[in-house]
């Protein structure tokens, strides 16, 4: 988790709202793809691709974008005129990488208030205003559509969709708690925004991504805004159920979280272990990291190759679903009383095969994890 320095302001809240709108953007893509499904079997690849857009990047960078033009220039100009009339100071225009979201930051120094304007080709234009307090908590309102994804416990956040600039700013000033605020600053905006995004996303990673209820609520809310009739909404929801959209999105989140954590752990271990470039090149495809964020299915996948431990390269591998399901169910039961790291270590020790995972060590940063080298079987599946 990143800690906040003294001059942060409501740029932190900007990251919170941008996260939510990126999820909404993903759902826009998903619903559009689903709307093109002519039969239960057509367009499935398009729908799968759209579902992958519902996971925002876990880290972003802000890049100067003063050359970029706004699509809705009239709405943007109106907000800027209101901010200028209230003594607002323009900080600059930026683009996020990834994805391509244009934003412009302002601040009202006399109120320690940041105002950030955003625009995306699909989600449109929205803005928000907010502040940070000296105790590290945040407060903000946004004109964007509600993403229904929940916010970290240190954030108080409300959607006031469609209200004028002056009204939103007045509401924030009137409603925020009466306690010391942190001064705003233009100089550190990009780095503070990026740090705020990382803090927010780390919290969501700890939760394993959005819950089934959050995804379902966001999906239904978006449909009600976009659909022209109850029949259209019902048809889209039925298609979503047939494609198991909620579970698919949860699965995509889990996969991308695991990939993100493994990349961080890999970089940390390479540095801390002092492994040579030659040795790393030899073992890189066989090194895995077992941490306590893994699920029963994740652990079962790592243990799956033991199912085929006695196969030779001449034999045809036939995946045994029943055996895999048995391993997954056993692990799921053990997770009620044991940690994933302990379960995996115990499972490796219980193997009768002479070729077993070899523990290379442990790391504590950025997350506690065990480092293992997968075995090389004469046959069976690749690690």
Using 50, 70 and 90 to split pLDDT, how confident is the model at 93? very high
330 pLDDT band, cuts 50/70/90, is confident
d(CA 101, CA 19): 11
> Which of 355, 350, 313, 311 is closest to 334 using CA atoms?
350
Is the pLDDT assigned to residue 60 strictly greater than 50? yes
As given in the structure block, the two tokens for residue 122 are: 């699909």
What's the distance, Cα to Cα, between the start and end of the chain in Å?
31
What pLDDT, in 10s, does the model give residues 215-272?
A: 777 767 665 655 556 666 666 666 566 557 777 778 888 888 888 988 999 999 999 9
pLDDT-derived band at 43 (thresholds 50, 70, 90) equals very low
Arithmetic mean of pLDDT over the chain: 77
8-39 confidence digits (pLDDT tens): 222 333 444 444 444 444 444 444 444 444 44
- The pLDDT tens digits of the residues spanning 162-179 come to 899 999 999 999 999 999
| Residue 370 scores a pLDDT above 90 | yes
Instruction: Give CA–CA dist 194/190, Å, rounded.
Output: 6
Distance from C-alpha of 343 to C-alpha of 131, rounded to nearest angstrom: 44
Dist. CA 82–CA 87, nearest whole Å:
9
DSSP 107-152: EEGGGTEEEEEEEETTTEEEEEEEEEBTTS-EEEEESSPP------
| Band (44; pLDDT cuts 50, 70, 90) | very low
Arithmetic mean of pLDDT, 35-45: 41
User: 124: closest CA among 248, 16, 28, 239?
Assistant: 28
Q: Helices H, strands E: what count in the chain?
A: 12, 10
With a CB cutoff of 8 Å and minimum separation 6, the contacts of 267 are none
In the sheet that holds 287-291, the strands lie side by side as 287-291, 369-373, 358-363
Task: Please give the structure tokens belonging to residue 314.
Answer: 């001449």
Would you say residue 314 has pLDDT above 70? no
User: Mean pLDDT throughout 277-290?
Assistant: 91
CB 59 within 8 A of CB 197: yes
Q: Which among 125, 82, 111, 107 is positioned nearest to 172, based on CA atoms?
A: 111
8 Å CB contact between 132 and 179: no
* Domain spans in the chain, listed from the N-terminal domain onward: 11-212, 246-373
The whole-angstrom separation of Cα 174 and Cα 178 is: 9
pLDDT of residue 5: 21
The mean-pLDDT minimum among 15-19, 86-90, 337-341 falls in 15-19
Predicted confidence at residue 69, as pLDDT, reads: 92
- Considering only 12-16, 147-151, 205-209, 288-292, which range has the smallest mean pLDDT? 12-16
Among candidate residues 211, 225, 162, 210, the one with its CA nearest the CA of residue 31 = 225
CA 364 to chain centre: 22
The pLDDT, as a whole number, for residue 232 is: 60
145-149, 240-244, 317-321: which has the highest mean pLDDT?
Answer: 145-149
Of 369 and 11, which is predicted with more confidence? 369
How many C-beta neighbours within 10 Å does residue 213 have? 11
pLDDT band of 100, cuts 50, 70, 90:
low
With 0-12 CB in 10 A as exposed, 13-18 as middle and 19+ as buried, what is 178? Answer: exposed
pLDDT score, position 301:
85
**For residues 52-60, average pLDDT:** 75
- The candidate with the shortest Cα–Cα distance to 257, out of 289, 230, 226, is 289
């Amino acid at each position: 988790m990143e800690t906040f320095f003294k001059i942060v302001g409501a740029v932190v809240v900007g990251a919170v709202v941008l996260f939510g709108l990126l999820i909404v953007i993903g759902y826009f893509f998903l619903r559009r793809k689903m709307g093109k499904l002519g039969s239960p079997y057509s367009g499935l690849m398009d729908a799968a691709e759209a579902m992958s857009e519902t996971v925002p990047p876990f880290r972003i960078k802000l890049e100067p974008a003063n050359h970029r033009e706004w699509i809705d220039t009239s709405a943007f100009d109106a907000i800027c005129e209101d901010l200028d009339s209230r003594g607002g100071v323009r900080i600059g225009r930026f683009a996020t990488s990834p994805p391509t979201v244009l934003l412009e930051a302002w601040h009202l120094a006399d109120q320690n208030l940041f105002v950030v304007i955003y625009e995306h080709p699909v989600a449109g234009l929205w803005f928000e205003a907010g502040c940070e307090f000296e105790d590290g908590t945040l407060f903000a309102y946004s004109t964007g559509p509600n993403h229904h994804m929940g916010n970290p416990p240190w954030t108080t956040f409300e959607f006031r969709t469609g209200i004028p600039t002056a009204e939103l700013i007045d509401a924030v000033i009137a409603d925020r708690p009466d306690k010391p605020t942190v001064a705003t600053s233009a100089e550190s905006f990009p780095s503070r925004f990026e740090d705020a995004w990382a803090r927010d996303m780390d919290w969501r990673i700890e939760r394993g991504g959005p819950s089934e209820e959050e995804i379902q609520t966001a999906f239904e809310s978006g449909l009600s805004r976009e659909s022209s009739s109850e029949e259209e909404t019902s048809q889209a929801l039925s298609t979503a159920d047939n494609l198991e959209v909620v579970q698919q999105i949860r699965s995509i989140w889990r996969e991308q979280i695991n990939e993100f954590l493994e990349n961080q752990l890999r970089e940390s271990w390479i540095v801390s272990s002092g492994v040579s470039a030659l040795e790393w090149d030899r073992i890189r495809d066989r090194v895995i990291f077992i941490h306590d964020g893994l699920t029963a299915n994740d652990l079962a996948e790592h243990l799956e190759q033991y199912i085929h431990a006695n196969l030779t390269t001449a034999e045809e591998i036939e995946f045994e679903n029943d055996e895999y399901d048995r391993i997954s169910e056993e692990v799921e039961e053990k997770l009620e009383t044991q940690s994933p790291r302990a379960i995996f270590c115990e499972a490796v020790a219980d193997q009768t095969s002479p070729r077993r995972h070899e523990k290379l060590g442990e790391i504590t940063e950025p997350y506690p994890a065990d480092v293992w080298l997968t075995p090389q079987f004469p046959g069976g599946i690749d690690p």
